[in-house]
C-alpha cells in the first residue's frame, strides 16, 4: 500500500513513515536543479554578455588612457551612451525590434532585457569613442560595422538574442552612419562657443549617468518603480512616464545653472519637482516605498544636479556658457 500526500502531510510506503526523509530529498533535488540551472544559464547565456562587457571596458580604459584629453573624452563617452540609449528606446522599447536574453536577472525579463541592452550600448559607445579619439577613417568604420554585424549574428546563433522584425544588416549600416555622425559631433565639442552642442552633449551625458543609476538601481532595490499597466507593455509604460519627467528635470537644472539663477528660482524649481512627484505618487503612476517620497525626490534632484555638474566639468572644465 502506498499513500502520498506531499510535504507536511503523512506518507506511508510498505508500512514505513518516510515523510521527513522524502521531503528532505525533494528539497535537496530542487536545490540541485536550481544550482544546475544557475550554472547552465551562466555558460549558455550570461558569459557572452559578460565577455562583451569586459572587452568593451578594456577598450574604453585603453582609449581614455591613451587620450590627450581624458576628461573631455570620458564626458563624450557618456554623451554617446546617452544618444545610443535614446535610439535604443525607440527601436527596442517602442518598435520591439529585438529581444535580449542574458539571463543575468532571470526572475525579471524586463530588467534582464535592460541588462542586455546596457551591455550592447556600452560596446557601441566605446567603439564610437575609439573611432573619434584615434580619427579612424571610413574604411575602419566599415570594419567596425562588420564586427558588430558578425557579433549580432553570433548572438543570434547562440540563442541569447532574438530578432522580431529587425535584421543584422541594419546594424551594419546603422553603425557606419552613427559613427560618421559622432565623428563630426566630436569635432564640434572642441569649441566652447557652440552653445547648442554644449547643451545637447551635457544633457545626453547626464541622461546616460542618471538612467542606469538613480532610475534603474531604484527599481532593482524596490525603492521606486513606474506603474507597469498604464499601457499594454510595461517597458512603454515606464518610458512614457519616466523619460519626460527626467528630461524636464535635467533641462531645468541645466538652464538654472547656465543662467546662474537666484535662490528664489531654485526654490521654486524644487517645489515644482516635488509637486510633480507627489501628483505622480498619489495618482499611482509611480510607486515609492512608503514614507520615502520626499527622500526619493531629494535623491532624484541631487543626482540630476550632480550629473549635470559632472558632465559640465568633464567636457568644458565648468566653462559652459
CA separation for the pair 172, 149 (Å, rounded): 5
Same domain, residue pair 92 and 221: no
Q: What domain range is 228 assigned to?
A: 195-321
CA separation for the pair 193, 196 (Å, rounded): 9
pLDDT(3) > 80: no
CA-wise closest residue to 84 among 56, 45, 117 = 117
pLDDT(236) > 90: no
Same domain, residue pair 320 and 213: yes
Higher pLDDT, 90 or 24: 90
Q: What number of residues does the chain have?
A: 321
CA-wise closest residue to 55 among 175, 182, 171, 147 = 147
288 is a domain residue: yes
7 is a domain residue: no
Beta carbons within 8 Å of 270's beta carbon, 6+ residues apart: 301
Same domain, residue pair 177 and 203: no
Same domain, residue pair 79 and 150: yes
CB 289 within 8 A of CB 222: yes
10 is a domain residue: no
Same domain, residue pair 208 and 111: no
pLDDT at 29: 42
CA separation for the pair 307, 121 (Å, rounded): 19
Sign of torsion over alpha carbons 294, 298, 304, 307: negative
Q: In the listed set 190, 218, 253, which residue is the last one of a domain according to the structure?
A: 190
287 is a domain residue: yes
Q: In the listed set 190, 221, 251, which residue is the last one of a domain according to the structure?
A: 190
Backbone angles phi, psi at 137, to 5 degrees: -70, 175
Backbone angles phi, psi at 284, to 5 degrees: 65, 30
16 is a domain residue: no
Same domain, residue pair 144 and 163: yes
CA distance to 40, 205, 228, 255, 264, per residue, from 210 (Å): 33, 9, 20, 17, 26
Same domain, residue pair 176 and 273: no
Cell numbers found for residue 140: 575602419
CA distance to 67, 157, 218, 236, per residue, from 103 (Å): 35, 16, 20, 21
Same domain, residue pair 230 and 136: no
CA separation for the pair 214, 234 (Å, rounded): 19
6 is a domain residue: no
Model confidence at 31, in pLDDT bands (50, 70, 90)? Answer: very low
CA distance to 4, 100, 103, 116, 274, per residue, from 44 (Å): 37, 13, 9, 14, 45
State the DSSP string of 48-86: HHHHHHHHHHHHHHHHHHH-SSHHHHHHHHHHHHHHHHH
55-67 pLDDT, tens per residue? Answer: 999 999 999 999 9
Same domain, residue pair 216 and 256: yes
Model confidence at 38, in pLDDT bands (50, 70, 90)? Answer: low
32 is a domain residue: no
5-22 pLDDT, tens per residue? Answer: 334 444 444 343 434 343
pLDDT at 44: 85
* Domains of the chain: total: 2
Same domain, residue pair 84 and 178: yes
20 is a domain residue: no
Q: 70-88 and 195-210 helices cross at what angle (nearest 10)? A: 70
Per-residue DSSP letter, 300:
H
Higher pLDDT, 277 or 215: 277
**What is residue 292's three-state secondary structure?**
coil
Q: In the listed set 174, 190, 206, which residue is the last one of a domain according to the structure?
A: 190
Beta carbons within 8 Å of 60's beta carbon, 6+ residues apart: 77, 122, 126, 129
102-140 pLDDT, tens per residue? Answer: 999 888 888 888 899 999 999 999 999 999 999 999 999
Phi-psi region of 260 (alpha: psi -120 to 50; beta: other; left: phi over 0): left
Amino acid at each position: 500500500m502506498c499513500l502520498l500526500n506531499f510535504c507536511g502531510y503523512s506518507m506511508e510506503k510498505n508500512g514505513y513513515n518516510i515523510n521527513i526523509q522524502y521531503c528532505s530529498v525533494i528539497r535537496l533535488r530542487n536545490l540541485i536543479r536550481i544550482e544546475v540551472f544557475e550554472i547552465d544559464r551562466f555558460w549558455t547565456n550570461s558569459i557572452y554578455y559578460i565577455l562583451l562587457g569586459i572587452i568593451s571596458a578594456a577598450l574604453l580604459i585603453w582609449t581614455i588612457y591613451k587620450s590627450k584629453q581624458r576628461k573631455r573624452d570620458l564626458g563624450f563617452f557618456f554623451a554617446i551612451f546617452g544618444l545610443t540609449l535614446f535610439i535604443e528606446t525607440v527601436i527596442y522599447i517602442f518598435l520591439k525590434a529585438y529581444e535580449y536574453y542574458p539571463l543575468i536577472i532571470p526572475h525579471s525579463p524586463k530588467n534582464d532585457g535592460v541588462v542586455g541592452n546596457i551591455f550592447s550600448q556600452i560596446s557601441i559607445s566605446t567603439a564610437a569613442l575609439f573611432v573619434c579619439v584615434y580619427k579612424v577613417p571610413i574604411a575602419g568604420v566599415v570594419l567596425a560595422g562588420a564586427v558588430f554585424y558578425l557579433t549580432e549574428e553570433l548572438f543570434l546563433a547562440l540563442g541569447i538574442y532574438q530578432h522580431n522584425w529587425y535584421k543584422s544588416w541594419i546594424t551594419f549600416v546603422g553603425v557606419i552612419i552613427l559613427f560618421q555622425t559622432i565623428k563630426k559631433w566630436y569635432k564640434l565639442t572642441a569649441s566652447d562657443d557652440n552653445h547648442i552642442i554644449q547643451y545637447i552633449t551635457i544633457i545626453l551625458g547626464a541622461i546616460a549617468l542618471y538612467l542606469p543609476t538613480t532610475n534603474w538601481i531604484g527599481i532593482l532595490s524596490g525603492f521606486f518603480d513606474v506603474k507597469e499597466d498604464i499601457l499594454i507593455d510595461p517597458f512603454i509604460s515606464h518610458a512614457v512616464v519616466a523619460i519626460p519627467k527626467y528630461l524636464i528635470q535635467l533641462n531645468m537644472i541645466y538652464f538654472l545653472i547656465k543662467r546662474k539663477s537666484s535662490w528664489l528660482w531654485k526654490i521654486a524649481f524644487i517645489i515644482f519637482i516635488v509637486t510633480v512627484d507627489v501628483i505622480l505618487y498619489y495618482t499611482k503612476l509611480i510607486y515609492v516605498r512608503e514614507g520615502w517620497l520626499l527622500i526619493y525626490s531629494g535623491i532624484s534632484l541631487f543626482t540630476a544636479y550632480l550629473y549635470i555638474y559632472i558632465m559640465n566639468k568633464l567636457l568644458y572644465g565648468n566653462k559652459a556658457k
